[in-house]
Amino acid sequence: MDQLLDEKITNSYQALIFQCGKNLPESDLPIIEKAFRFASQTLGNKIWNQGEFILNHSIAVAKISVLELGLSTDALIAALLHNVYSKWGIEYSGDEVKKQFGPNVATILDGWIRINSLNTGNIAFQSENFRRLLLTLSGDVKVILIKLADQLQDMRTLSNQPAEIRERLSIETWHLYAPLAHRLGLYKVNSELLDLALKYLHSKDYEAIVEKLKETAVERASFVSAFVLPIEKKLQSRGFDFEMKARTKSIYSIWNKMQKQKVDFHEVYDLFAIRIILNSDPENEKATCWQAFSVVTEEYLSNPDRLRDWITYPKSNGYESLHTTVLGPGKRWVEVQIRTHRMDDIAENGLAAHWRYKGGKGGEEIDKWLRNVREILENPQLNPVDFIDDFKVNIYEDEIFVFTPKGDLLKLRAGATLLDFAYEIHSKIGDKCVGGKVNGKLVTLKYILKNGDQISVETSNNQKPKLDWLDFVVTSKAKSRIKASLNEDHKKEAENGKEILRRKFKNWKIELNDIIIRDILKHYKLKLAVDLYYNISVGKIDTLEIKDQVIGKQEESQQEKLAEMLPAQEVKELSFDNSDDFLVIDNNLKDVNYKLAVCCNPIFGDEIFGFVTILEGIKIHRTTCPNARQMIERYPYRIIKAKWRNTGKRNSFQATIHISGSDRSGIVTDISRIISKEIGIQMRSIAINSEDKAFDGTLRVFVNDLEHLDFLIQKLKNIKGVHSVTRSDA
């Protein structure tokens, strides 16, 4: 049995050498053999719980690293050794590994150990671990790529694993490794990872799409043949050297479109794309692609809104292709992708292909992107769950290209604003940005940039980030910096609020301790004390309300209540009825320390109460005020009992009257005469609307008191044609 196991491992290794030999220098074979012996001596015939040889897994990862990702000998050796180095507690010093296999292998394996020391079982909740993981990943691209190879091999053999492991690895793949593969230009790897994750996370949907694809295979093949034939003839007649492929959408892409557009499988019209791959000299690539484009659009009507030129402006991961959507047979829209063999290799294999073509800038672009990821991740205020969302969105969105005042080209996510551009230049410029110019015209922070815009930014030392900025910026860098700045302001306000609360408790002669703080947090449904202190500082939580909550609502006199809320001099100037502790409101209204509320317009004689505002002193409201219930329930400690005192002097109170009835000639005159002549009331305004022989109106008048108003209402009711007269609040 052992001999059989050894034979399987040996056969796998020999296949690795045979298949990878043409991709690696022959001189590297001895050190690869040395690494295999090193691994086999440690692992031998050990197996995983599900029965797979551990060493066979390592060989499979090495094969993916070289054949599918285009990595070199160092990566192959690291892949062979990764299970030896990190899974079995074998202690090899960095110096020993470096001595036997070189510094590059030692560096890769060191990064591998850091990755595998983290728990990524639940990316959405293991926030700090996720952040540390990505910081590790952003150190060396080869660590990312070998980890992707390992993840891909795990997903390919996932059917043998228990259900909980299948779910964990699929979620991990969906949220982290598939987006990483996409960002690195590894579209084949990305598609396979997403398809496999979908297979285990949404198995019924996956199987249904697979079945539908089988059912429609003949129909698709027939349509492709009819579509391709006339284009092939024209390209051949004009001397193009090319090949054409029909690429069916990945299962995940079909599923994703069905989910987003809420459509059935048969309503996904772009199930496939036609790819034209051209042979061309490097210096003629662009011209050759555009010439092929003209042939396609001669044959079929093109949709100009769907043209994507990633030849003139390649994506930041190096992707180059010309995409157009044309109307094919049966009036069916078909996407056509036009590219050269070099472009196709890069599109399929990402970084690996860049390393095969000298002069390719893809590696530089990826390094720039990784530096940006690190800058964001090193922000200590970052919420990694937010970063996951931004990370995935930024990967899958198209890009735009804009220019600085000096003519330098910058790439931003489609939908980026002037403020995103400012943060892309520098975090401090974003923080101070107040606007700018686009193509010489003044624009606001929210201006959405377009391809080719030339942009300059204007700043002010008085500007600072605001919460609503998060509503319109779209790049991770801008969001991260704004959140960090807001957190700094939040912290300063919280320190101020903490000091306010400390002083209040000292004045109340109450000890402020952790138990009390926990009770207050529970009362306000807050999780952190810093949020409580912040709300106190900005006035969202009143310290008097806290006092009521802490010591209970004990009876206080009106003077005592007001003494805590108003300056001593203002309280001294107020009048109180000592017999029943009411604030006394004179009908001469000369006291500047209280005002009549405009929401209900109290009149002498109404039942009233006082409400102590934060900035405007005491407001007097009717007990029937539409806002009374809310004020009493939310701010009971600010409610002051009040009553009128008749000084014998006449004064004017504004009242609003609603009147309606049957329209007739002269009714407005009758209403005006009653008000102005018969009882001498001053009228401020009158507004009457008439429609379908009925009228509806609002009168604003000044009266002496409630009895005076009631008398006026009765007189108005006696007018011929008037059906209703009522007092309004406003």
| pLDDT for 340 beyond 90 | yes
What number of CA atoms fall less than 13 Å from residue 223's CA on the CB side?
22
For the segment 371-396, the average pLDDT, to the nearest whole number, is: 56
* Contacts for 266 with CB less than 8 Å, ≥ 6 apart: 212
Gap between the Cα atoms of 277 and 293, Å rounded = 12
| CB distance 104 to 74 below 8 Å | yes
Retrieve residue 366's tokens: 């990826």
| Sequence-ordered alpha helix ranges (H) in 88-216 | 94-101, 103-116, 127-137, 141-156, 163-172, 178-183, 187-201, 203-215
Of 710, 665, 711, residue with least CA distance to 688: 665
To which H or E segment does residue 60 belong? helix 54-63
- Give pLDDT tens digits for 576-586: 665 555 677 76
- Give pLDDT tens digits for 667-720: 888 888 888 775 668 888 888 888 888 899 999 888 888 888 888 898 899 898
Of 416, 323, 331, 424, residue with least CA distance to 369: 424
Gap between the Cα atoms of 692 and 550, Å rounded = 61
- Give pLDDT tens digits for 199-239: 999 999 999 999 998 988 888 888 888 999 999 999 999 99
- Give pLDDT tens digits for 401-439: 788 888 777 878 888 999 999 999 988 999 999 999 998
| CB distance 102 to 75 below 8 Å | no
Pairing state between β 608-612 and 639-645: antiparallel
| CB distance 8 to 40 below 8 Å | no
Secondary structure class of 570 (helix, strand, coil):
helix
Of 465, 477, 491, residue with least CA distance to 379: 477
| CB distance 193 to 173 below 8 Å | yes
Describe the crossing of helices 187-201 and 341-349 by its angle, rounded to 10 degrees: 40
Retrieve residue 537's tokens: 């500082």
Retrieve residue 515's tokens: 């138990």
Retrieve residue 329's tokens: 């047979």
User: Which residue pairs, CB below 8 angstroms and at least 24 apart, start in 361-368?
Assistant: 361/318, 362/185, 362/317, 362/318, 363/141, 365/316, 365/317, 365/318, 366/141, 366/184, 366/317, 366/318, 367/141, 368/316
- Give pLDDT tens digits for 71-121: 888 889 989 988 876 444 444 556 777 888 888 888 888 777 766 665 555
Other beta carbons within 10 Å of 590? 9
Give me the pLDDT at residue 25, please. 83
* Contacts for 548 with CB less than 8 Å, ≥ 6 apart: 636, 637
Say which residue, 23 or 619, is predicted with more confidence.
619
Provide the pLDDT confidence category of residue 362 given band limits of 50, 70 and 90: very low
| Sequence-ordered alpha helix ranges (H) in 566-654 | 568-573, 628-634
| CB distance 421 to 438 below 8 Å | no
Give me the pLDDT at residue 383, please. 55
Gap between the Cα atoms of 495 and 399, Å rounded = 42
Give me the pLDDT at residue 472, please. 93
- DSSP, residue by residue, 644-702: EE--S----EEEEEEEEEE--TTHHHHHHHIIIIIS-PEEEEEEEEEETTEEEEEEEEE
Other beta carbons within 10 Å of 248? 15
- DSSP, residue by residue, 505-517: HHHTT----HHHH
Of 173, 312, 304, 298, residue with least CA distance to 238: 298
pTM over cut 0.75: no
* Contacts for 682 with CB less than 8 Å, ≥ 6 apart: 652, 701, 702
- Average pLDDT, whole number, for the chain? 81
